[in-house]
Amino acid sequence: MRRTLVMLALGCMAAVAHADHFDDQTVGDLAKVPEVDYAKKVPQIPVSALSRLPEILVDGDGRAFLVVRTGEGNWTKLTLSLANWPLLAEKGKDSKFVIVHRLVTYPSDQRGIAADNENIYLFDGFGIDLELGQIVPAGTSEDLRYVAEKGGRLEPVGETEIYLLGKAPSPPSARTTARSVQGPVKASDFTGAYRLEADGRWMGRLVLDADDDGVLSGSFVSDETGQTYDVEGKIGNPANRATFRIEFPRTTPTFNGHLWTRGRTRLAGIMTMEERPFGFVADRLSEKKGEDEASTDGGDAPPASDAE
């Protein structure tokens, strides 16, 4: 069984105005967790404690934030909460399960992203393989598993270690609160993570960061290769127009698009690759997806000190 070092930092996922505070926690921040004085090692986490532990990102959302280092040296961050499925109770089974709202795993060389998934459900008898970013049966390749008995708990597999954090490794950046959803478009409205699809064949996760001068930087993680590529560009005129390039090894496609002025939820336009035009669309990823898909069960949660 793989040896895994797991750092568990419990807090809340950011609301829409703080959409990128999850992204503020970089792989470099995660790698420092074992040495910080505000981290405490615990052997397991009662799932009923998830909604009562200190909220270290943004108050009021009720999601926990986990930081994990696998036995292969890969780093993972994920947000989750406890939920309830009444149908299970009607059949005489434990109705609790865990929603994994967002999961990102970084390779051990800290370059790119190995796994990126969201809105997956963890039931009794199953675990999470963090290299795959998927739910797997307990006793296979899991790094964490959910056990429903005795109130339910998340427990490490093998010689894993779990830590609770008293605060977020990285504070909110200026860009996490800068996006508006109405009125004149400004540079910071482009900042965020998107699901990019071009011509139905180039797909992946696009992250853009705009500074006050309208300069764009970021990254693109390809679905096809799993590799991360640099992105650079500029916001133009009118204010909702942007041009950016993805630096692939053998070619550099240019994207000319417009951000929707209402809601700022979509960027769409033309991608030009080797003088050939193709259509593209980039939909802003929602950190609130899945929130209404199951009812949250706070339960009789113990205080943070009882998580041991």
Q: What is the pLDDT of residue 149?
A: 86
**How many C-beta atoms lie closer than 10 Å to residue 114's C-beta?**
21
- Is pTM beyond 0.85? Reply is no
Q: Quick one: fold of 178-284?
A: Lipocalin (2.40.128)
Over range 201-215, report the average pLDDT: 90
User: 3-state class of 89 per DSSP?
Assistant: helix
Tokens of 15: 């609301």
Q: Domains of the chain: which residue ranges?
A: 5-172, 178-284
Please, which residues have CB within 8 angstroms of residue 279's CB and are 6 or more apart in sequence?
Answer: 198, 199, 268, 269, 270, 271
- From residue 17, how far is each of 14, 53, 263, 287 by CA, in Å? 8, 22, 12, 11
Please tell me the predicted confidence (pLDDT) of residue 146.
92
Examine the pLDDT at 59 and tell me if it is beyond 60: no
Pick the range with the lowest mean pLDDT from 12-21, 95-104, 221-230: 12-21
User: Can you tell me the distance from the alpha carbon of 160 to that of 47, in angstroms, rounded to the nearest whole number?
Assistant: 18
pLDDT digits (tens, 9 = 90+) for 71-121: 788 888 888 888 887 776 677 777 788 888 888 888 888 777 888 888 889
Checking if the pLDDT of 206 tops 90, the result is yes
Residue 1 predicted with pLDDT over 50: no
pLDDT digits (tens, 9 = 90+) for 264-297: 889 999 999 999 999 999 998 754 333 333 333 3
Tell me if residue 188 falls in helix, strand or coil.
Answer: helix
